[in-house]
Amino acid sequence: MASAVEQRLISSGRPAYRLDGDNLRTGLNADLDFTREAREENIRRVAEVAYLFADAGTVALVALISPYLAARDKARELHEQRGIPFVEVYVATSLAVCVKRDPKGLYAQATEGEIPAFTGLDDPYEPPVAPELVVLGDRVLEKTADSVIEALAECEAKPELATRARRRKRAD
């Protein structure tokens, strides 16, 4: 979904860059493992990078599994304190769908005990309390990408929507 949003923004003339686990954990965050502390540090670093992109006028699309509410709240706070909109998109997907869509076979490895503390299995996922947008994980990609772009445009037009007093939207 983040790739589709990135492509649409760029094709419309809007600078955008997708930050995801693959492009971050091979460089910037290569020194981090998957303990709770390391995951929180991963989110902190990514939030700082996303801020730098946004400050330079580029939409930062952060596509990470960020299981802890407190870490996401810190990322939001960092942006709010600096006057940068923060749009949280919660992709509400069942564990069964995540397992089915797993291109790397990580869920199978975690089930076999090869990956400890795996999100959704033996480590919790704390859903967002009030994200700007909820996308149901089984929806059509084109519709979800449109919903994300609309949420971004709405928060840019009305920055107060991307603050603690934000509204909750659901993409259908």
pLDDT digits (tens, 9 = 90+) for 107-146: 899 889 888 888 888 889 999 999 999 988 767 677 888 8
Question: In the chain, count of helices (H) and strands (E)?
Answer: 7, 5
Q: What is the pLDDT of residues 17-48, one digit of tens each?
A: 999 988 998 999 999 988 889 999 999 999 99
- 64's tokens: 């990470």
- Tens of pLDDT, residue by residue over 45-58, are 999 999 999 999 99
pLDDT of residue 160: 61
Torsion of CA 92, 12, 61, 137, to 10 degrees: 10
Residue type, 18: R
Number of Cβ within 10 Å of residue 65's Cβ equals: 15
The CATH number linked to 154 is 3.40.50.300
Of 139, 129, 141, 137, the C-alpha closest to 92 is 137
- Local confidence band at 6 (pLDDT 50, 70, 90 cut-offs): very high
Domain count, the chain: 1
Q: Are the C-beta atoms of 133 and 147 separated by less than 8 Å?
A: yes
Query: Which residue is listed with tokens 């909820």?
Result: 134
The mean of the pLDDT values for the chain is: 86
8 Å CB contact between 90 and 128: yes
Annotated active-site positions, please? Answer: 66
Per-range mean pLDDT, top range of 5-14, 34-43, 156-165: 5-14
pLDDT on residue 139 = 72
Q: Which domain holds residue 158?
A: 2-171
- Cα–Cα nearest to 131, from 60, 79, 72: 72
For 172, half-sphere exposure in the C-beta direction (CA atoms, 13 angstrom radius) is 0
